[in-house]
Each structure stands twice: as C-alpha cells, then as structure tokens.
A = this chain, B = another copy of it.
Amino acid sequence: MKENNKIPPATVKRLPLYLQCLEQLDDQTIGISSKKLAEIAKVNDAQVRRDLSYLGTLGTRGVGYDISTLRNQLQLELGLVEGWSAVIVGVGNLGSALAHYGGFQERGFGVVGLFDDDPKKINKQIAGLVVKPIADIKDVCDKYNVAIGIIATPGNVAQVIADQLIDCGVKSILNFAPVLLKNIPDIQIRSVDLSQELQILSYYLDRPVLKAVK
C-alpha cells in the first residue's frame, strides 16, 4: 500500500474518469475549464476543482487547466506509468473478453498470464497468451512480479483463487465473480458485479405499480 494516501477514496474513483474525459477532447484543445470538464464527466464543477486540487493542479481563472499537464499528473498519480503486470484467472466468456480488452494495455497494464482449470481450455491461445493450469500461477507471478489479479471464475471458487493470488504476492484484486470476497489487510479488492449496474438502472425505470401506490 502507498504510505501517503492523501487523496480521499471518492476522489481517487473519479480520477480515471477525468483522464478519460481529457482523452475524448480533440487534439486541438489545449486548455479546459472546470465547468467544461464537469459537464463531460457529469459531476459538479466545484467537485472537479476540489478533486484536482489534490493533485496540486490549480486551474488559472478564466483559462482553466492545461490539458497536457493535467493528463500527465493524473497518469502519474494513478501509477499508470509504472507498467503493472496482471493475470486473469478464469477464461470463460468474460475472462476471454478481458484478455482481449485493449483498454488495459493502453492504460499501462500488461496481462502476462491466463489461467483456468478446465482441461479443454488449458493450452488454448487467447489474445496471444497460452492458457495455463491454475497450479502455474505462482511461477508466473514470481517471474513477472505480478501486482494485480483479475478473477473471472464462477462465484463458488473465487475466494479460493483470491487467497491463492494473495499467497503469490498479488496486492490488488479485481473481482468479476458475483460474490463478495473477504477483506484482507493490505490487499486492495474491487468487485465489479455486472448485474448490480442493471439493478441500479432498474430503480430509475418507470414502474406503473409503484407509481400508483406512492
């Protein structure tokens, strides 16, 4: 873990979003106001100014932020210049999709290993990598100094895999299995549950029954 986590977690969550916003601007744009950035990111502009102040980045009144400086600061703060290595465990549909996902490489994450325990998948080649048995995780983690483990297994084995990854020295886990993993000291765990996003959308949909009741 970083010793100086000076940036509040809610701000950290928004930094990748700001970076994405900057990259969607055309190449001609050299400066951006907090208001414009807030509009693209769909957050409040006071929030943008507060978040960016943690980077030591102060916009100039009437001019805004210099885009190339801001982008460099975001990448540095997020550690995207370090070239982290990651492995993916579970190469079903989702694991394969993640292996092919170009966005990881672009952001400085290199996927260096794919693992599965299905004999039909072992030795298959996906996105330029050969799928290996789960027993080989340790060797790959040692060889490439893997920092991030991505879990795309069924829910019932996710905790076992997480424990194994942590034993191999992995410090961060991105979990796509639909279960909540146990908290482990000094290990950062993030879960992406695809159905949760749909459930949030569902809340906002028109519901004639509820409307009549309320």
- A residues lining the B interface (CB < 8 Å): 1-5, 7, 12-13, 15-17, 19-21, 24, 40-42, 76-80, 82, 84, 86, 92-94, 96-98, 100-101, 103-104, 106-109, 147-148, 150, 171-174, 178-180, 183, 188, 190, 192-207, 209-211, 214
| B residues less than 8 Å from A207 (CB atoms) | 2, 79, 82
CB atoms of A174 and B195 under 8 A apart: no
Q: Hey, which chain B residues are within 8 Å of A16, CB to CB? A: 193, 195-196, 199-200
Closest-by-CB residue of B relative to A202 is B79
Please report the C-alpha to C-alpha distance between residue A12 and residue B188 in the assembled complex, in whole angstroms.
24
Known: A3-B214, A180-B24, A214-B4. A188 touches B204 (CB 8 A): yes
Interface contact A206-B80, CB-CB below 8 Å:
no
Is B20 in contact with A178, judged by CB distance below 8 angstroms?
Answer: yes
- Tell me whether B86 and A198 are in contact (CB under 8 A): yes
Q: Which residues of B contact A190 (CB under 8 A)?
A: 197, 200-201
> Contact between A93 and B84 (Cβ–Cβ < 8 Å)?
no
> What residues on B are CB-neighbors of A80 within 8 Å?
199, 202
